[in-house]
Structure 1
Amino acid sequence: MADSADIFAKCRDWTAAREARAARTYPYYRPLTESGGGAEGVVDGRRVVIAASNDYLALASDPRVVEAGGAALRRFGTSCSGSRLLNGTLALHERLEGELAAFLRQPAALVTTTGFQANLALACLLGRGDLLLLDQHSHASLLDAARLGQARHLRFRHNDRADLARLLGASGTGTGSAAGTGAWVRGGRMAVTEGLFSMGGDLADLPGLAATLAEAAPARLVVDGAHDIGLLGEHGRGAAELLGAEGSVDLITGTFSKCFGSVGGFLAGPEEVIDYLRHRGRSVLFSAAAPPAAVGAALAALGIVRAEPERRRRVLALSACLHRLLRELGWDTGSSLMPVVPVHVGDDAACLRLWQGLFDAGVFANAILPPAVPPGRAMIRLSVTAAHTERHLAVIADAFATQARTAVPRARASLPALPR
């Protein structure tokens, strides 16, 4: 028998993190030792502006949310110590599901332990003979759901309804297969996209995608609203509300870890679909329930999202300001004005050097490298929250100005008007 390779060998051979640490450009797992309400914090003993948080509405440190989480903790303890299916469902979970369904104008909702697990639950909808079509920029959790499901899955070009139509047309011929040859059983079809894309900060063309799917009916549209529910639309119901496409979305997934200042996930849609997911979704059945404190905090945050639309207006205004400041310095922040602010760099090493330069200048940002983005598309990802002030934005812009003479490529692009 030939000698077997050591399965751990790949770990020894992968040296990227060690090299970045040695070069003092390692941007990950940096502990925050003190928080200043979301806008500032202490990292490595230095007070910095936090431009890396997805707490868009600044609710994670809101006293009402903190107190609600604490009250649930005192009443129910630290853990449910079991799955939702068995002993882990509290009246608190069901109350959140009811209020969330009403908020999103959906018949039913299901609360999960994380947003990642909410998306993984979709795998149980993907049977043999079904077809899943994913936007190329969809979150990793959606791709993992596709891999866990039994359906054939294809990826359409980002926000490209013509490519979606092409794939739908090809799937209807009865001549395709997972390997590209031979017949395959025609089943149900479903397209999945993010509402507000988590890396690029751009909006999905939900009306266009919905119109394309309507031509191939029955085909379902699922929207991951992780970064837009609570933030966009007159009432905060997300990208679908903003774009007038709520009636075209068949199923919604989301998370409490962005606009709701907590942790956990959810799915919302038709009652029979939610009931099926509740009993067949493996990530739901085999995970301990969301802890009481997180659920209590999310409930309080949902009330604030409904009652205080000025938070949404403030963060969107601040976001447009930061895009303008960075573009005036020549940095390419894409085509969006959203609180997700991508500063496109390209080269991985240049991105890490830029990250370190920003940190040295007092700004803690996110360095985004492959596989989170395609090779050659490294970026600094900034996030704007309602806790930021114009002074914080000026600090961020000044930090980028100090990097203007580096070798990092920069570009200009026109700014679109913010959709209303």
Structure 2
Amino acid sequence: MVQQDLFEKARGHEYLDLVRTLRQRDLLPYFRLVDGAPGPVARIDGQDRIILGSNNYLGLTGHEAVKEGARSALEEYGTGLAGSRFLNGTTPLHVALEHELADWMGTEDVIVYSTGYQANLGCIAALLGPDDTVICDSGDHASIFDAVSMSRARSRPFRHNRLDMLEKLLIGPTAGRGDRGGGTLVVVDGVFSMEGDLARLSDIVGLCREHGARLMVDEAHGAGVLGAAGTGLCEAYGVSVDVDLRMGTFSKSLASCGGFVAGSAEVIEFLRFQSHAFMFSAAAVPAAVGAALAALRVIRSEEGRELRARVLDNAHYLQRGLVEIGIETRIPTTMPDGSEVLAPILPVPMGSDQHAILFWRALYDAGIYVNVAVHPAVPPGQALLRMSVMATHEREHLDRALAAFAKIQADLPEQDPAAAAFG
């Protein structure tokens, strides 16, 4: 038997053929060169473009206090710590950040990881084992599914936001749990990163309580933006105390790089001594920690409340503008108290990959940068453009984007009828 060359899968992968073709035609939407900070306008490929593809929701990457936090940490601790948090990589900055995050989130303790990806990976893989069951929304972030694979727990995904299917899975694994001797963890994104829709947390909390499952919510895109104190969707739903674990990142509203898990003191202490992604990874660089700590303090201030109001107002303004010109996008979610919530992520369904890429390129040429998702990032026939707004966007930025959308929609053929509906 002749052994196949392991690298053959890379040489002949159909996706790489597509990438080569797109590069040749200058249609590749990815790895564009950004020369400058991710503000409302940035220089990409030598031209100033309005940025509607950044997760810098509050615009804090350019905030003077945040930059000073990074500078001060750099001067005091140097460029890196050359060790893990477990050994020589814990500084007073890390401890202060964890304490202030715990106070903000209203939990007993917090553990900080070097990236948001590692936060999910390290927490879930450490908590779960082969005897346990994990139930995930099919729209959860990739880091969650990678963590589940590492844990070797019994995985039970349910169709995106279909809580009837979640309930069936909870009844099944919970009823048979005694044979395996394990527990059940439900993991959902609060705000789903690609389409910007919200998990129905009130209902999910109720189901988990009824069936004895623990609940973890990924607040990566909600923390800093949603809720009166900005702690995320759990707060907006009023269920923070009912959620066992909340994860967040620094690479969105907190204007840095890193991630955290907030929860009970006993679980967080367990993670400090059992989470491989924490114990065997270099500690977050001081400048990143200093920036995140400064950003957190801005978020908790009156200025932070004003920035939250502004980014959500911008999201509603852009959403209404898209609807007025006949472009389908996410609609606000009505909360249990009757209020309406719209995350700062607005998807526009395109249908085919080809239509999405051509529409993206036309926007790009018009000076508007958005994100584009095609298969395999999304199911076939469900390509989309993903826009995200910032508190620092001015009305003129959003109006220019809306004018470009209106013109391109008129110039390009009708979108694929298979485009996914958002409602």
The alignment's TM-score, normalised by the length of structure 2, stands at: 0.92
Q: Residues 214-233 of structure 1, C-alpha deviation per residue, up to 9 Å, x if partnerless?
A: 1111x101000000011000
2:180 is aligned with 1:185:
yes
Instruction: Quote the residue 2:248 is aligned against.
Output: 254
1:130 aligned partner, one-letter code: D
How far apart in 1 are the matches of 2:121 and 2:90? 20
How far apart in 2 are the matches of 1:239 and 1:167? 24
2:210 aligned partner, one-letter code: E
How far apart in 2 are the matches of 1:403 and 1:413? 20
Q: Residues 246-273 of structure 1, C-alpha deviation per residue, up to 9 Å, x if partnerless?
A: 1210001110000101110000100010
Instruction: Quote the residue 1:8 is aligned against.
Output: 7
Instruction: Quote the residue 1:216 is aligned against.
Output: 211
Preserved CA contact (<8 Å) 2:222 2:343: no
2:34 aligned partner, one-letter code: L
SS in structure 2 at match of 1:402: helix
How far apart in 1 are the matches of 2:277 and 2:331? 35
1:410 offset after TM fit, Å? 7.5
Q: Residues 293-327 of structure 1, C-alpha deviation per residue, up to 9 Å, x if partnerless?
A: 00000011001101020100000011001011111
In the alignment, structure 1 segments of 5+ residues that lack a partner are 177-182
How far apart in 1 are the matches of 2:370 and 2:414? 16
Shifted more, 393-402 versus 221-230: the winner is: 393-402
How far apart in 2 are the matches of 1:410 and 1:259? 34
Runs of 4+ residues deviating >6 angstroms: 410-416
2:343 is aligned with 1:338:
yes
1:18 offset after TM fit, Å? 0.5
How far apart in 2 are the matches of 1:320 and 1:31? 30
Instruction: Quote the residue 2:284 is aligned against.
Output: 290
Identity over the aligned pairs, expressed in percent? Answer: 42
SS in structure 2 at match of 1:298: helix
How far apart in 2 are the matches of 1:408 and 1:235? 42
How far apart in 2 are the matches of 1:169 and 1:161? 12
Instruction: Quote the residue 2:415 is aligned against.
Output: 409
Is the alpha carbon distance of 1:375 and 1:186 closer, same or farther for their aligned partners in structure 2, counting shifts above 3 Å? farther
Shifted more, 113-122 versus 367-376: the winner is: 367-376
Instruction: Quote the residue 1:179 is aligned against.
Output: none
How far apart in 2 are the matches of 1:184 and 1:395? 60
Is the alpha carbon distance of 1:12 and 1:414 closer, same or farther for their aligned partners in structure 2, counting shifts above 3 Å? closer
* Among 155, 158, 182, the residue aligned to 1:156: 158
Alignment of structure 1 residues 14-413 onto 2, 5 Å: 14=13, 15-35=17-37, 38-121=39-122, 122-174=124-176, 185-217=180-212, 219-307=213-301, 308=303, 309-336=305-332, 337-405=342-410, 406-409=412-415
2:106 aligned partner, one-letter code: R
How far apart in 2 are the matches of 1:195 and 1:127? 24
Is the alpha carbon distance of 1:129 and 1:413 closer, same or farther for their aligned partners in structure 2, counting shifts above 3 Å? closer
In the alignment, structure 2 segments of 5+ residues that lack a partner are 333-341
Preserved CA contact (<8 Å) 1:263 1:294: yes
SS in structure 1 at match of 2:311: helix
2:381 aligned partner, one-letter code: G
1:414 offset after TM fit, Å? 11
The alignment's TM-score, normalised by the length of structure 1, stands at: 0.93
How far apart in 2 are the matches of 1:273 and 1:347? 45
Shifted more, 41-50 versus 112-121: the winner is: 41-50
1:401 offset after TM fit, Å? 1.3
How far apart in 2 are the matches of 1:173 and 1:258? 39
Preserved CA contact (<8 Å) 2:372 2:386: yes
SS in structure 1 at match of 2:246: strand
How far apart in 1 are the matches of 2:41 and 2:416? 27
1:335 offset after TM fit, Å? 3.0
